[in-house]
Amino acid sequence: MTRKSDAPDLDLFKDIIGLDLPAERLGEDLTAFTDILVELRKLRELDLTETHPVVVFDAAKTYGDKGGT
């Protein structure tokens, strides 16, 4: 995919996410969260097809017998 020459330059963190930090602070934060990103990638690779959660959230249960199934 090519970028049009008249397209504005977008800063991912400032323009898209709304995070306006100085470059050095942003670098520090990204470094600090690198370990977390590694662990999240490991979790995303897990096959949980046959694994059922301990707790199943059902919003209809909040209303008792009045609503839901």
User: Given this model, what pLDDT does residue 54 score?
Assistant: 84
Q: End-to-end distance of the chain based on CA atoms, in angstroms?
A: 48
Could you give the residue ranges of the DSSP H alpha helices within 1-69?
23-32, 34-45
What is the total count of domains within the chain?
1
- Could you list the residue range(s) of the whole structural domain that residue 33 is in? 20-46
Q: Is the pLDDT of residue 68 over 80?
A: no
Residue indicated by tokens 């199943």: 56
Residue 67 lies in a domain: no
| pLDDT confidence bin for 47, thresholds 50/70/90 | very high
Q: Are residues 69 and 60 in contact, defined by beta-carbon separation less than 8 angstroms?
A: yes
Return the DSSP state at 1: -
* CA–CA separation, 41 and 35 (whole Å): 10
Residue pLDDT, tens place only, 8-45: 777 888 888 888 888 889 889 889 999 999 999 999 99
Query: Given CA atoms 28, 32, 35, 41 in this order, what sign does their dihedral have?
Result: negative
